[in-house]
Structure 1
Amino acid sequence: MPPLLLPFGTAAHAGPSSLHSVPVEAQLLFIGAIFLGTLIINRFSIRIGIPAILGVLALGLMINIHVLDVSHAEVDNLHTFALALLLFYAGLKTDLKSIRGFLEYGLLLAVGGVAICTILLGISIYWLSSSTGTALAPGISETMPLGAAFLIAACLGSTDAGATLSVLRKVRGHIPRKVLQLLEFESALNDPSALIIFSIFLSLFIASNNTHDSFPSLAIAASSELLQKLGSGLLIGIAFGYISKLTIDSFVIDKEQLLIVAMSIALIDYGSSFFLGGSGFVSVYVTGAFMANLHYNDPELNHQSIQDVLLPFNTMTEISIFLLFGLLIHPADLAPCLPAGLAAAAALMLIARPISVVCFQSISPFNRRESVLIAWCGLRGAVPLALSFNVQEAISTYPSLEPLAAAQLAQNSQGIIFIVVILNLLFQGISIAPLCRALSAPTQPSSFG
């Protein structure tokens, strides 16, 4: 993936009060206080019915240190590590046995649903937004570049089961177990699906920027390179899945050692895939998925045990991404792209996500009430925010626009993604629990019937 950039030109604001001028003891005190604050804010977020990660994001925005002296490389490394760990954990959560009876529907919803949602949202953003994303301009007279619109949409393809399940905690008795299992499976599988679709659009976008050769030839070359990376990543992921089983069966003697195995396998897997020409993100997900569906010699040392030891790290990763965005993004920078962000959020929640669920209703084992809840549970989380760095970097070099306009569009594109995630977590997060109660009211609490 191309190098990641700081959001909204943050590094330009670094000054005398940068992080390097603060004693390390004060830094540790500050970091400790912030993470303790996230624990407190999590508790209050769940109590008022919003996803916990939205509360963390709000905490970062309230503190909003806009003078952090963080280099591009540091942000790049952080988000690469974060995405790799999130995808590895998503693979571990891809338990095929948990959705027996509706595996075909789950696969279609997680893969085809992401594609349909991305296309519909991309068309909506293209039709609604102005050329630089600063206003609403319905029609085709003054539109955002099509490639930029689809990059933004592809960024928002994956759902976050953690955010959904955190707000459903109070109403679990009103939700059929199979719906919860589907939501968790969909979220685990659509992370790599969204990443692959995003990579496809990014490759086509970069190819379209190259004016030296014809677009068809460049698109074919880009597609060939992408397929090679995906194929290599798949094979490497499978190999490391079996290596992890061999390691656990041969060397692990208690559960405490599983954390070392999991972190080591994930990091070696990602690094090996890079040097072997594959996609590291695909390989770590495939490794996690194989680990989740293999059998081990010791029944107490299995994928569920690995999930348990990795869960704190996965939670820490999500919290860190949201906290970093809140700390580095200046709220005033979001004002120009607020109309486009509102329109994109409405298109995602009211059009793209529901249609992507309805398209597969003919093979769905769920009734209409359950399908309504599934359609409304498409909360977005850390992955879209992490991918937004790549969107900003790619759009900032768009040759069809003047450099100033390209920079403005790049900044507003990341702002649109940020606004969509906030509004999605806020409005859908608050309304999910009441919707569950309303849908289950005429029937037994355990099912929508």
Structure 2
Amino acid sequence: MVTSLLIGSLIIFLCVLINKFSSKVGIPTLVFFIFLGMMFGSEGIGKIYFDNYSMSENICVIALIFIMFYGGFGTNWNTAKKVVKESLHLSTLGVVGSALITGVICHFILKFSFWESLLLGSVIGSTDAASVFSILRSKKLGIKENTAPVLELESGSNDPFAYMCMIICVMILKGGVSSFEIAKTFVMQIVIGICCGLLIAKFTIEFLKRYKFDTEGFDQIFFVSVALFSYAFPTFFGGNGFLSSYFVGIILGNQKIKNKSSLIHFFDGITGLMQLIVFFLLGLLSLPSAIWSVKEEFFFVFLALTFVARPVAVFLLYSFEKVSLQKKILVSFCGLRGAASIVFAIMVLGSGLNVSFDIFHIVFGVVLLSIILQGSLIPYVTKKLNMIDENENILKTFSDYTEDIPVDYIRVKITENHPWIGKTVKDINLPPDLLIVSIQGKDGSILPKGDVVFRKDDCIALTAVRFNNNIEFDLSEMTITKESDYLGKKIQEISLEEQLIILIMRDDKPVIPKGDTIILEKDVLVLSQKK
């Protein structure tokens, strides 16, 4: 147990270092995670033998749940809704088209059986949103013609359709199922998946309106349970859990939720960890000797998918729309394969289906080439196609994006002896660049018009221009105990040399320190000092 924890913590630490390194050299981090897994594997220096595909499937499904949920949660619907039709065509017909064309090519060239070829095409039919946007975000690439939201919505929503195609191929290859059963499975996957997703999202929204989290961080735990439930509930009734997870994510991610930005960053970290686990596990499961033995197959499949199947499907879908040739080429090229393809390949093995070729290592090779070659070349291809928009911010496609407005708010409480009591707004001489924007009184919010009179217990909100220069001061805290020399003294009686008391936290309430403010036991002094 201790040894496993030691090795696990070391691996995560190495992955953190690798992430820093990869961002500098421009190679996607996931490549290094794969190689790290191979290094620790049975044919690497770690000599860890691991071939438990059943356990791997369970771990990868959990990982994909969070990846799918976050794919929706991080989507800015106001930006994405402009390209819904375009994106859904790519994520549905595009996936089916890519899988079908790839399958047909593999059937005639590699001589795989027809349905096994379609199975392979389905497994690698979806694109990976996390891979594409980690590259675009790290390079801060704004793209013309609303291409970024198209790629985001397509990549986030096409995994469930690739999953359905894979399930149908597995059912056919196992035999004993009628056309009616296949059609029934297809309809149930979509209908139950969407309906359950809508119901879970509705319930969660209503719950959040009525429930307040008393402990900080419990809202994140709650959303973890929502993500897991959004998959498990529809799957229990025969629906598509991945489709439900995505729907729940995209609905909740575009609601006004408290601490939403922290939730985004939390799931950003969770998704990163899930991808780390999946790709490390992939590397651990893989055998370099087995990869080498199918090098010709996976290289051919990669070429067929990247330069034939995906472009043909994209160009056909765009044939009736006014889209530039550059956008068609870029959308075709940005179809990176990632975690979902790995999970689906492991699911095929976990289903007990005997495939005549090594589907796991072929998918491994395709994903590896896709991440290394396509992932590294996306910025270059975007530039060469003249699709970079210097005025477009890639972060606008994410639901946690807000314009950076250089304004801060200041709160002023009108106490019993406050000098503003009885005066009107127009009578107050404020320093330049300060403005009263709201007055919260006993009767509710009041617009601060010139003749409004300040009363006791009013709470005033003022705005000021943010101080953007680097502040060369550090903040520290000091708790006043019975033994403290400052206990019972006034602020003006305390000599702190180069420190300044800027705030006092008393019974969890802030107190602005004045010269005659007396220090009490259990006060927490917030001190400012020069760095």
TM-score computed with the length of structure 1 as normaliser: 0.79
Uncovered stretches (5+) of structure 1, i.e. residues with no partner? 1-23, 130-142, 211-216, 399-405
Query: Is it true that 1:125 corresponds to 2:106 in the alignment?
Result: yes
Aligned to 2:182: 222
Q: Tell me how large the CA RMSD over aligned residues is.
A: 2.6
C-alpha displacement of 1:389: 1.2
Query: Is it true that 1:76 corresponds to 2:37 in the alignment?
Result: no
- In structure 1, C-alpha distance between the alignment counterparts of 2:225 and 2:390, rounded to whole Å: 44
Aligned to 1:392: 349
C-alpha displacement of 1:59: 1.6
Aligned to 1:338: 295
Aligned to 1:270: 231
Kept in 2, the 8 Å contact 1:85–1:266? The answer is: yes
Provide, for residues 120-141 of structure 1, a one-character-per-residue CA deviation record: whole Å limited to 9, x for no partner.
1111111221xxxxxxxxxxxx
Kept in 1, the 8 Å contact 2:164–2:189? The answer is: no
Q: Which of 80, 87, 97 matches 1:116?
A: 97
Aligned to 1:322: 279
Query: Is it true that 1:144 corresponds to 2:95 in the alignment?
Result: no
Kept in 2, the 8 Å contact 1:94–1:189? The answer is: no
C-alpha displacement of 1:370: 2.6
Q: Residues 419 and 281 of structure 1: is their aligned pair in 2 closer, same or farther, counting only changes over 3 Å?
A: same
C-alpha displacement of 1:418: 0.8
Aligned to 1:432: 378
- In structure 2, C-alpha distance between the alignment counterparts of 1:354 and 1:378, rounded to whole Å: 9
Instruction: From the two aligned structures, give the one with the greater helix fraction.
Output: 1
Bigger radius of gyration, 1 or 2?
2
Kept in 2, the 8 Å contact 1:244–1:261? The answer is: no
Q: Which of 148, 161, 178 matches 2:146?
A: 178
- In structure 1, C-alpha distance between the alignment counterparts of 2:33 and 2:53, rounded to whole Å: 23
Q: Residues 40 and 301 of structure 1: is their aligned pair in 2 closer, same or farther, counting only changes over 3 Å?
A: closer
What SS does the corresponding residue of 2:146 show, helix, strand or coil?
helix
Aligned to 1:54: 31
Aligned to 2:364: 418
C-alpha displacement of 1:153: 0.8
C-alpha displacement of 1:352: 1.1
Q: Residues 100 and 257 of structure 1: is their aligned pair in 2 closer, same or farther, counting only changes over 3 Å?
A: same
Aligned to 1:39: 16
Kept in 2, the 8 Å contact 1:128–1:343? The answer is: no
Amino acid at match of 1:392: L
- In structure 2, C-alpha distance between the alignment counterparts of 1:193 and 1:155, rounded to whole Å: 10
Kept in 2, the 8 Å contact 1:204–1:219? The answer is: no
Q: Residues 104 and 324 of structure 1: is their aligned pair in 2 closer, same or farther, counting only changes over 3 Å?
A: same
C-alpha displacement of 1:95: 4.0
Q: Which of 77, 85, 91 matches 2:66?
A: 85
C-alpha displacement of 1:94: 4.5
- In structure 2, C-alpha distance between the alignment counterparts of 1:174 and 1:114, rounded to whole Å: 25
Provide, for residues 386-409 of structure 1, a one-character-per-residue CA deviation record: whole Å limited to 9, x for no partner.
110122345x644xxxxxxx5xx2
Uncovered stretches (5+) of structure 2, i.e. residues with no partner? 393-531
Provide, for residues 181-236 of structure 1, a one-character-per-residue CA deviation record: whole Å limited to 9, x for no partner.
22111111112222222223223333xx33xxxxxx62322321342343223222
- In structure 1, C-alpha distance between the alignment counterparts of 2:123 and 2:305, rounded to whole Å: 12
- In structure 1, C-alpha distance between the alignment counterparts of 2:149 and 2:168, rounded to whole Å: 29
- Which has the larger displacement, 377-386 or 101-110? 101-110
Query: Is it true that 1:25 corresponds to 2:6 in the alignment?
Result: no
Provide, for residues 139-198 of structure 1, a one-character-per-residue CA deviation record: whole Å limited to 9, x for no partner.
xxxx21111111111011111122122333464356338222221111111122222222
Q: Percent identity?
A: 24
- In structure 2, C-alpha distance between the alignment counterparts of 1:146 and 1:286, rounded to whole Å: 33
Q: Whose RCO is larger (CA < 8 A, sep 6+)?
A: 1
What SS does the corresponding residue of 1:157 show, helix, strand or coil?
coil
- In structure 1, C-alpha distance between the alignment counterparts of 2:314 and 2:235, rounded to whole Å: 35
Q: Residues 198 and 277 of structure 1: is their aligned pair in 2 closer, same or farther, counting only changes over 3 Å?
A: closer
Q: Which of 204, 222, 241 matches 1:244?
A: 204
Aligned to 2:246: 285
- In structure 1, C-alpha distance between the alignment counterparts of 2:321 and 2:335, rounded to whole Å: 17
